[in-house]
């Protein structure tokens, strides 16, 4: 009977480690190409939106041949095929063939996110992030990390994102449309995942509420409450009209309109800790003394070993904050706790929802 020696075990361990190293090297040869051509995916999806591919296929009953699609667009079937082949490989549209061999393209859950009429469409968000204004800061991100510039966005565009938007109507609209996109995805998840969030609440103020999409959705879902959509005057001047929602212009660093609850979604991550504390204190001053609270809808970065399916998006979003703001960032639970404590909130609850963001209830 053969005996296994210590030397044999060392050899086996060494061979196993070598096998793992070889696999990792082979995988690296494949994965590195994601970073060589990383922006290509965004560019092709933007192309699909610009061409209106999802809308055209939808109006044709949900499927269309390559020739029909090219004829509608009045473009070369050859170029269009290459784009559709790429999108099919990414599960944006599904490719099939008829018994006669005709290429057919149909919708998928991903392509439906590009439909202009769908509640969960994200087309406007993609169009915002793929503009030269938003892309150029990425090319100077290393200078931001080395603190050679205060903000990569400032360095690329000559001023911060808020100043730029206030002077450029088209870009301001892109931002509002993108935030409305997110609201249409997230607000239903808030209502679904936090059923008692607005119990006993008669009024709320949506701080930094953009065009009022969030306020409108909340009021329509909970007709017993009144909403104030609060943002810069040039933003609320184009606010959506909704019964039960009042648009108020102002600056959250100066004061916040009075209401039972202050609701603030995807605003605090744009700012550093000192600015966030200032905003939160203004929110605390605005809420009612008896049933007041601040509802924060923001990402909460988890531990490194998390299995949360949205964690990759949260980490990507943190890099967006690094590129597009001076001090903005996504925060961990510990960082949120420290921030809220310094702003004078006694305790808070965190409610995960089916979204990149979580709901944080902060009580004075």
For residues 72-85, one letter each, b for 16 or more C-beta atoms within 10 angstroms of the residue's C-beta and e for the rest, the string is: beeeebeebbebbe
Residue 124 and residue 174 in contact, taking contact as beta carbons nearer than 8 Å: yes
Dihedrals phi, psi of 230, to nearest 5 degrees: -120, 120
Catalytic residues: 269, 298, 330
Give the pair of three-digit tokens for residue 204.
């709320």
Give the pair of three-digit tokens for residue 47.
């192309």
Taken in order 214, 115, 321, 353, is the CA torsion positive or negative?
positive
Taken in order 57, 61, 64, 69, is the CA torsion positive or negative?
negative
Beta carbons within 10 angstroms of residue 141's beta carbon: 16
Q: Could you please report the per-residue DSSP string of 24-92?
A: HHHHHHHHHHHHHSHHHHHHHHHHHHHHTHHHHHHHTTSEEEHHHHHHHHTS-HHHHHHHHHHHHHTTS
Nearest-5° Cα angle at 250, 248 to 255: 105
Residue 344 and residue 278 in contact, taking contact as beta carbons nearer than 8 Å: no
Task: Name the region of 209 (left: φ>0; alpha: ψ -120 to 50; beta: rest).
Answer: alpha
CB-facing half-sphere around the CA of 147: CA atoms within 13 A: 1
């Amino acid at each position: 009977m053969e005996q296994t020696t210590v030397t044999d075990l060392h050899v086996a361990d060494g061979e196993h480690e070598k096998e793992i190293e070889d696999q990792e090297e082979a995988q690296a040869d494949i994965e590195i190409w994601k970073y060589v051509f990383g922006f290509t995916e965004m560019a092709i999806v933007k192309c699909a939106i610009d061409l209106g591919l999802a809308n055209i296929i939808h109006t044709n009953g949900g499927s269309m041949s390559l020739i029909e699609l090219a004829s509608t667009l009045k473009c070369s079937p050859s170029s269009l095929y290459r784009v559709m082949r790429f999108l099919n490989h990414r599960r944006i549209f599904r490719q099939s063939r008829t018994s006669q061999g005709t290429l057919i393209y149909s919708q998928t859950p991903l392509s439906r996110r590009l439909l202009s009429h769908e509640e969960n469409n994200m087309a406007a968000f993609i169009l915002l992030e793929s503009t030269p204004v938003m892309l150029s800061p990425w090319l100077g991100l290393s200078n931001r990390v080395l603190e050679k510039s205060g903000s990569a966005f400032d360095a690329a565009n000559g001023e911060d994102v808020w100043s730029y938007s206030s002077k450029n109507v088209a870009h301001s609209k892109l931002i509002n449309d993108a935030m409305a996109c997110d609201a249409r995805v997230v607000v239903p998840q808030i209502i679904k995942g936090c059923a008692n969030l607005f119990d006993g609440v008669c009024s709320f103020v949506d701080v930094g509420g953009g065009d009022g999409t969030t306020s409108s959705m909340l009021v329509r879902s909970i007709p017993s409450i009144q909403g104030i959509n609060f943002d810069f005057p040039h933003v609320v001047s184009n606010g959506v009209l909704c019964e039960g929602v009042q648009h108020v212009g102002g600056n959250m660093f100066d004061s916040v309109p009075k209401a039972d609850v202050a609701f603030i979604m995807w605003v605090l991550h744009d700012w550093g800790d000192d600015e966030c504390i200032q905003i939160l204190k203004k929110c605390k001053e605005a809420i009612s003394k008896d049933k007041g609270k601040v509802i924060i809808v923001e990402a909460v970065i988890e531990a490194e070993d998390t299995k949360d399916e949205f964690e990759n998006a949260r980490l990507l979003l943190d890099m967006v904050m690094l590129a597009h703001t001076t001090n903005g960032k996504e925060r961990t639970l510990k960082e949120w706790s420290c921030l809220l404590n310094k702003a004078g909130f006694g305790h808070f609850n965190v409610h995960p929802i089916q979204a990149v963001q979580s709901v944080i209830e902060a009580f004075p």
